[in-house]
Structure 1
C-alpha cells in the first residue's frame, strides 16, 4: 500500500489552481483511458461523489470517490481537499492542497495512499513509481490547461 506525495509550483493564483485541480471531469481528459463522471449535484462540497472509469472494454473498472474534506482557498489562505476511494478494486485516499508559493505562485501538494485489492505487497514499489508518474503528469497537464 504505497503512500506517496509530490509538489508542483504553478504561475497561477490560488483560486485558479484550485479550480483546475478540482473540476473532476477534467481529470478524465489528462489521465489515459479514463472518464470521470460526477454523480452528485454541483457545486462540489463535502459529500460530492464521482467515479473515474479507467481501462478498455472488459478490462475497465470503476474508481468511485467521495470528497470528505472541502476547504477551498479563501483570501490567500491555503485550500485542502481530501478524497476517499470507495471502490471494490481501488482503495485509499488522496489529498490536494494549494498554498501560496514563492513569487506569487501557487504551490500544489498531492498526497495519496493507493491500494489495489488483491495486489500483493511485492508490487508496492512498481505501483508507487507508476502512480507518481501518472498522477504527476496529470497534475502538470491540469495546471497548464485553462
Structure 2
C-alpha cells in the first residue's frame, strides 16, 4: 500500500468544486485510457458505486469503488465537505478521500488523500506507486477544476 496526498487551490466556490469532484464519469475523462461507469441509480451519496476501467481490450482492469462517507460542504465552522471512497477490486485496493474547504477571502482548497495497493506489486515499489498516484491524480484534479467557459459558476 502507498499513501499519497495532492493539494490544489482554485478560485471556484466550494459547492462548484464539490459538484465537479463528485461527477464520477468526469474522473474517467481525466485519466488516460479510462472510463467510469456509475452502477447505482442515485450517484450522489453513501452507497454510490462506480467502476473505473483502465486499459485497452484484454490489458484492462477494473477499479470498483463505493462512497462510504458523504458530507457536502456547508456553512459555518465545520463547513468542509468530505467524501471517502473504498476501493474493493481484485487488482486495485485501498481508499481515497477528498476534502473541499472554503479559503478565507474566497476560493477553495482541495486535499485528495489516497492509500492505494495494486495486487502483485511488491511493497518495495510503494514510493514509485505513490509518485505515479500523485502525478495521475494531480493531473485529474487539474482537469476537473479547470475553467470551462459557459459552464463555470463563479
TM-score by length of 2: 0.91
* Corresponding residue number in structure 2 for 1:28: 28
Query: Do the aligned partners of residues 75 and 43 (structure 1) sit closer, same or farther apart at CA in structure 2, a change above 3 Å counting?
Result: farther
* Corresponding residue number in structure 2 for 1:89: 91
* Corresponding residue number in structure 2 for 1:7: 7
Task: Decide which structure has greater helix share.
Answer: 1
TM-score by length of 1: 0.96
CA distance in 2 between partners of 1:103 and 1:140 (Å): 21
CA distance in 1 between partners of 2:3 and 2:140 (Å): 18
Q: 1:84-136, CA deviations, whole angstroms, 9 ceiling, x for partnerless residues?
A: 00100000000011001142010000000000011111211111111100000
* Corresponding residue number in structure 1 for 2:40: 40
Q: Secondary structure at the match of 2:105?
A: helix
Runs of 4+ in 1 over 3 A off after TM superposition: none
CA distance in 1 between partners of 2:51 and 2:6 (Å): 23
CA distance in 1 between partners of 2:59 and 2:46 (Å): 31
CA distance in 1 between partners of 2:43 and 2:29 (Å): 20
Q: 1:36-61, CA deviations, whole angstroms, 9 ceiling, x for partnerless residues?
A: 00000124110000000001111100
Structure 2 unmatched runs, 5+: none
Q: Secondary structure at the match of 2:142?
A: helix
* Corresponding residue number in structure 1 for 2:134: 132
Q: Secondary structure at the match of 2:6?
A: strand
CA-atom RMSD, angstroms? 1.1
* Corresponding residue number in structure 1 for 2:55: 55
Structure 1 unmatched runs, 5+: none
CA distance in 1 between partners of 2:36 and 2:105 (Å): 34
